[in-house]
């Protein structure tokens, strides 16, 4: 029997934004921001994919591409195996709902909870035979806002951040979606109430078989919540795989750095692995592996050729030359090819940095 199509699939999706000339820094007229470049991933049916990366890596742009809020520059998004553009935008929006990062800005302060949750019920006609009030209370019960009658009458300023985010989730559920895209849904909440919202999302997956794309900068919460993890860096995917495998045995140096920097109450020493510098400009990202200016294991080939995704375990892939089947120091660079063309000699690429172990996935600097 063939596998069911994933809930969402991105195929070589790219999104470039034209650069607006503001301030003193001048860019070429045709400059673009490479927000997302050639990303392919899947959101499993009735599963959670966490898209993880630091600010500016393109993960929120990718979420908007998956939600069809933005159109890709190239590549395509499929929902249940069908191109996302095959049906109307309204039908797509009903099936793929978004929960945004800021629960304070996403609710209109002048309207009650009942108004916010009731609008999609009216828009999509999803109240069935229930009265509007009964349907609203049922939705508020689903997100554990009880007594529902009391919450329905409240205004946003009478709610905590966690309660507002639950209202935003209830509003999304009112459309009867099959897929939720949650963009940093807990990052603006107090640490003490984040777990409740994460558990609510896990319950929607387990009990209602919703597929969820969970966008976050916090790899620890991705490990807690997700089935699959996709790590992004500077607009590209660097590592994908089962959540436990990626977080227990990260095979890409950037994922290793993210994990080393994650808060750990048991750690008494500072993080053992440290990268250099800051993320690159997405207007002119580095050639080759985009992480090479910061990577403690960078080799000559890394600056010249973008690594493909190598398999590092069951379902686990890493876009890093360290996992090439052959010794990465012997992969010809553009310089080697130029030398070969000029002299007929094949040159060896440079040695890794002193102290760096190109084969060591958990090497420390």
| Contact footprint for ligand SF4 (CB under 6 A) | 252-253, 289, 291-292, 295, 297-299, 302, 307, 320-322
Q: What are 98's strand-pairing partners?
A: 181
Q: Whole-angstrom Cα distance, residue 39 to residue 287?
A: 17
CB of 356 to ligand SF4, least distance (A): 8
CB of 18 to ligand SF4, least distance (A): 28
* CB distance 275 to 260 below 8 Å: no
Would you say 101 or 255 has its CB closer to ligand SF4? 255
Quick check: bond before 147 cis, omega within 30? yes
Q: Which is nearer to ligand SF4, 118 or 307 (CB)?
A: 307
Nearer to ligand SF4, 151 or 233 (CB): 233
Indicate the residue among 223 and 252 with the shorter CB distance to ligand SF4: 252
Q: What is the dihedral of CA 99, 103, 108, 112, to 10 degrees?
A: 90
Q: Least Å distance between CB 138 and ligand SF4? A: 49
The two three-digit tokens of residue 209, written as one number: 């078989």
Q: Which is nearer to ligand SF4, 118 or 288 (CB)?
A: 288
Q: Please report how close the Cβ of residue 68 comes to ligand SF4 at its closest, in angstroms.
A: 32
Least Å distance, CB 328 to ligand SF4, is: 7
| Phi, psi (rounded to 5 degrees) for 79 | -115, 120
List all residues 6 or more positions away from 26 whose beta carbon is below 8 Å from its beta carbon.
none
DSSP, residue by residue, 5-47: PPSEEEEEEEEEEEPP--SS----TT-EEEEEEEEEEEE-TTS
């Amino acid at each position: 029997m063939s596998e069911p199509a994933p809930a969402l699939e991105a195929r070589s999706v790219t999104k470039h934004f034209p650069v607006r000339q503001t301030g003193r820094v001048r860019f070429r007229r045709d400059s673009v921001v490479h927000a997302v470049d050639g990303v392919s991933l899947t959101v499993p049916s009735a599963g959670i994919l966490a898209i993880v990366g630091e600010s500016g890596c393109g993960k929120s742009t990718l979420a908007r591409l998956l939600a069809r809020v933005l159109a890709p520059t190239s590549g395509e998004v499929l929902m249940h195996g069908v191109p996302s553009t095959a049906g109307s935008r309204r039908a797509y929006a009903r099936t793929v709902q978004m929960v945004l990062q800021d629960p304070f800005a996403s609710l209109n302060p002048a309207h009650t909870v009942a108004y916010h949750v009731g609008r999609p019920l009216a828009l999509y006609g999803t109240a069935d035979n229930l009265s509007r009030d009964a349907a609203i209370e049922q939705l508020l019960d689903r997100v554990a806002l009880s007594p529902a009658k009391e919450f329905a009458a409240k205004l946003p300023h009478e709610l905590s951040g966690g309660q507002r985010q639950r209202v935003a989730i209830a509003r999304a559920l009112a459309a009867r979606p099959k897929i939720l895209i949650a963009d940093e849904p807990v990052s603006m909440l107090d640490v003490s109430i984040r777990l409740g919202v994460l558990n609510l999302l896990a319950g929607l997956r387990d009990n209602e078989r919703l597929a969820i794309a969970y966008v976050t900068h916090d790899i620890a919460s991705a490990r807690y919540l997700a089935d699959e993890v996709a790590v992004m860096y500077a607009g590209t995917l660097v590592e994908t795989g089962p959540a436990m495998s990626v977080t227990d045995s990260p095979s890409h140096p950037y994922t290793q750095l993210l994990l080393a920097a994650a808060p750990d109450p048991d750690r008494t020493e500072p993080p053992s692995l440290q990268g250099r510098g800051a993320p690159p400009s997405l207007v002119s990202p580095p050639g080759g592996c985009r992480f090479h200016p910061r990577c403690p294991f960078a080799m000559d080939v890394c600056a010249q050729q973008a690594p493909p995704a190598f398999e590092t375990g069951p379902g686990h892939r890493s876009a890093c030359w360290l996992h090439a089947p052959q010794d990465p120091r012997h992969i010809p660079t553009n310089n080697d090819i130029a030398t070969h063309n000029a002299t007929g000699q094949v040159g060896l690429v440079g040695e890794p940095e002193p102290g760096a172990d190109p084969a060591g996935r958990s090497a420390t600097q």
